[in-house]
Structure 1
């Protein structure tokens, strides 16, 4: 079902770039303003100039972050800072990274994948997207005609040729091998053998791909293809705009890690803040963990350990500004079905992020759809410690600490053609940007 093919990737030229660690970054959507400045200063050819360029007060239609990105791309190509592979390849990658003092390894295949509308059931989303973000990404792809960051997608089942390559790869010198800014080892091997390529491509013919990360970029690619088809008289089924670069990973890969996406709220009025526990008690059973007078760290540890116990049960941790206590709330039996049974499937009602979005944010706090779309109102963190510190310091008003969404839940919801609330998952680590790129011209 999925059309997965090799391509002539664009890579940094190792003769001109000493270390990929100097020029690669995480995807644009997890880079904060301080990191954006850091990456700009780290190296003059850092890919930040392509994916998240600086804005100026003089920006206009002719000169802005998107047109400057196109200028950098063309300059780097002409100076051979970036070079295109002469032979089509699949790009097998491995990342070694720690989580809770244990080292994991995740493999993935970077390839081109034929774009398909979601309704065909070949490539499936699982999260909602923001319109503003898609419009910004569309401006960038229209200016540069390139994919800089691969979509992170998943498949289920075995692919013998790919599994064999993953077994052999660690014994073979990689085409690129470096330690990134987070201390993760990043390796890439080019698969140029046409027989192996055909075997891998054929194996994907009966696979469904599930988007793990990059929903905005995928939907933008669909919009870009439509724009190209209307404005390019030479557009055809073989035009590069019909494909998108993807990092494809097995759902069974032992290095596939999902972290929670905790919610941090700003601008909560005093009435909602002071009355939250009482109002929430109408819908939730609430356990209060009293703050220890002399040992806040032990209290925080107890809070998180209590939340993580029996993860299959719906439990959400709550912290409130100017309130030293911690709360663990669990929906009362049948409350979700009573309120939302006519509009939500059981697979969605069973998600902690749905309970948070519909029952807490909407029902208890009264946040409407506009508020849910407001990235200034709701922020995210995958770190328990960071989320808690943000409340203790008073930077945010409320924190909702979640358990991670399970991969089985992602597959079930996507397979039913349903959509989870935004930021329901945080696949970790993000796929690095700048290891390989794809031209659409």
Structure 2
């Protein structure tokens, strides 16, 4: 199933590129009725993408809650939970610092904003983004949900994590009395993973619609205008991938190559939809097949989506300095290091906000007298940049979970990257539900 889904997504990606480009070339008239028609066509395509993303949002909260509570209950004691939490946060802070620093160094080395040659927006122009300043009081208060149900209804991942930790620790404390609830939640995990399988069957169609709509509306020309900036950023992402996977190689050894094979489906899904949420269920399953214990993966992944968005972190320093370069603003190294530290803090309080990277950047630029209007330069290509940073976020969180699992005693028995169909008690074939989350008969999976 995983291999077929990857193939279908690739086909849909290419088909969307071809159709979007063809529509733009045949209808675009440089700003007249043709442009309005293309916007309307893109709106029709967005219906499919929006429905798919809503389906993903529908399963995220119950999936995160059930897997996390079951994982904590299986840890056995609160000391193990505290140890995993501290190690995870330590890794997240280190990875965030590396990502921000790489973005800062590469944008100064490559200088994509110098001599840009594009007309600059007026300094007073509004980029249309809600600027959010970091507020420690509000951030800490926002960590704890006023209601667990409200947190799930609004898909506040960090609040769901906090609520799940309380439930999981309480179930561990009550012991045998809580066993029926743990078994019920294990059943819920299996149900949610089966629903994930249903939802993922329409992923290629969503990918096709997202790519075709975006390219039809904006055309290849907008990419050409900022090709050097985009190329520089993607080069930075490639360097970040090399660093993350290199560190992972030092910790877990040659199995890093196998990990990439397991992750190719969620990476491609995250890249083509530019949605970390869309890739979350598949990433969880891929890590389970690789051998990361579910109690580790189900804790580290949702926490990582709030604290460990490596691709987004790199983009924050990269885009901020790019705009400064475009306006000819010369920032000293002490100023840029201060900006890095500010972004390190402010980015942690904005998780879950649409276009979070741009919102954080807009709220930080004013501290260094960089015109917010400069973001108008990159808004047109932000979707294409978001694709790359989303795929990087998937890699960063998967590597984090894998490394934490290694530090916590190693891996479970892995499953083949391509799962063969296994019969369920009802006789139906299920191809992609991890063995650790299901109750089916048959021999254990082979060791890779």
TM-score by length of 2: 0.24
Higher relative contact order (CA 8 A, sep 6+): 2
Which structure is higher in helix share?
A: 2
TM-score by length of 1: 0.24
